[in-house]
Chain A
Amino acid sequence: QVQLQESGPGLVKPSETLSLTCAVSGDSISSDYFWGWVRQPPGKGLEWIGSIHHSGGTYSNASLKSRVTLSTDTSKSQFSLKLSSVTAADTAVYYCARHVRVVTSRSKLGLPRRTYYFDYWGQGTLVTVSS
């Protein structure tokens, strides 16, 4: 059974950098999955932040891309999120999740068509941005 657990400071000051780590058990960070971050601000819906593959490939939400840094540490079986220059709008419950990317078919030109979904999630950690 794959398990994920977020950890990091629950309070971050405005303009500083939010740093979270996700510890993975029951699977290897080096397996052929992406590892992602999703957040939910109070009273709002979920928002995908970004996802990283152990090979270094990363994808980020365009609205957050300039502030997001993703990394993996295969020796510790964990991956991390850094979000810089935070404001009160970054207050949210942050989830880490395993992000599946699977080729479902190929076009006439042989290009892969893929599907994406999150199959395992952590319980989430609340991060408040306040002075």
Chain B
Amino acid sequence: QSALTQPPSASGSPGQSVTISCTGTSSDVGGFNSVSWYQRHPGKAPKLIVYDVTKRPSGVPDRFSGSKSGNTASLTVSGLQADDEADYFCSSYAGSDNLAVFGGGTKLTVL
């Protein structure tokens, strides 16, 4: 069982928006502004798409946005494209004894 809870699946049609949630506790997501999101296509290396809750690395489209409310972080993908179909994982800092906890992952399907 993963430390952070994500829905196993999400879906949307091209052009639509979809939001993926990531629920933790006050000891991780709620306690620190250190939430990151990763995209992973089958057989490929995971790619960082959001860090520090809302920031995007250079080259990541602004269609990807992150937010947080209490113990739940969210990733919103707007203007869905076929290439967005992938697995998405969230992660949070959880203290000096636990630098990273992860969610179970969400498989995003573009219908």
Contacts and interface: CB of A to CB of B under 8 A. Distances in A.
Interface residues of B, number: 30
Give the interface SS of chain A, mostly helix, strand, loop or mixed: strand
A119 B59 CA distance: 13
Nearest to B36: A117
B57 A116 contact: no
Interface in B61-103: 89, 91, 93, 96-103
A119 B52 CA distance: 12
Contacts of A122: 45
Interface residues of A, number: 28
Nearest to B44: A123
Contacts of B36: 117-118
B45 A121 contact: yes
Interface of B: 2, 4, 6, 32-34, 36, 38, 43-48, 51-52, 57, 89, 91, 93, 96-105
Given A117-B34, A119-B57, A44 B104 contact: yes
Interface in A106-120: 114-120
A118 B89 contact: no
Contact of A116 (B34, B44, B97, B104): B34
A104 interface: yes
Contacts of A62: 97-98
Contacts of A11: none
B98 A117 contact: no
Given A45-B2, A104-B52, A116 B46 contact: no
A121 B47 contact: yes
